Amino acid sequence: MRPIADVASDLGISANDIEPYGRDKAKIPLDSFPSGNGARGNARGKLIVVTAITPTPAGEGKSTIAVGLVQGLAKIGKRPALTIRQPSLGPVFGQKGGGTGGGKSTVQPAEEINLHLTGDFHALMSAHNLLAAMTDNVVFRHEIDGFEADGITWRRVTDAEDRALRNATIGLNGDGPMRQTGYDISAASEIMAILALADGYKDLRTRLGDVVVGWTRDRKPVTAEQIGAVGSMMALLRDALKPNLCQTLEGQPALVHMGPFGNIAHGCSSILADQLAIASAEYVVTEAGFGADLGFEKFMDIKVRQGGPKPDAAVVVCTVRGLKYHGGVDLKDLSSPNADAVRIGVDNLKNAIRIVNMFGLQAVVAINRFPDDSPEELKVVKTAALEAGAKAVAEANGFAEGGEGMRELAEAVVAVADTGSEASLIYDDDASIIDKVELLADRLYGADRVVWGRMTRTTARRFEANGWNFPICMAKTHLSISADARLRNVPTGHQLPIQELRVSAGARQIVTLAGDIMTLPGLPSKPNALDIDLDDDGNIVGVLGT
| pLDDT higher than 70, residue 248 | yes
Q: What is the pLDDT of residue 178?
A: 84
List Cβ neighbours of 517 (8 Å cut-off, separation of 6 or more). 263, 264, 475, 476, 477
Q: What is the pLDDT of residue 36?
A: 55
pLDDT more than 70, % of the chain: 98
Query: pLDDT per residue over 323-336, tens digit each?
Result: 999 999 999 999 99
> Which run of H or of E encompasses 116?
none
Give the residue ranges of DSSP H helices in 444-528. 456-465
pTM for the whole thing? 0.94
Superfamily classification of domain 120-237: Domain 2, N(10)-formyltetrahydrofolate synthetase (3.30.1510.10)
Superfamily classification of domain 433-514: Formyltetrahydrofolate synthetase, domain 3 (3.10.410.10)
Q: Where along the chain do its domains lie?
A: 4-119+240-419, 120-237, 433-514
Residues in the chain: 546
Per-residue pLDDT band at 39 (split at 50, 70, 90): very low
Find the mean pLDDT for residues 490-511.
96
Q: In terms of Cα–Cα distance, which of 11, 60, 21, 509 is closest to 297?
A: 509
| pLDDT higher than 60, residue 219 | yes
Amino acid (one-letter) located at 412: A
Q: What is the pLDDT of residue 42?
A: 54
The whole-angstrom separation of Cα 177 and Cα 59 is: 44
Q: What is the pLDDT of residue 485?
A: 94
| pLDDT higher than 60, residue 208 | yes
The whole-angstrom separation of Cα 38 and Cα 28 is: 17
Q: In terms of Cα–Cα distance, which of 22, 178, 242 is closest to 111?
A: 22
CA atoms within 13 A on the CB side of 162: 15
Neighbours of 153 (CB within 10 A): 15
Q: What is the CATH number of domain 4-119+240-419?
A: 3.40.50.300
Q: Is 308 helix (H, G, I), strand (E, B) or coil?
A: coil
Q: What is the pLDDT of residue 11?
A: 96
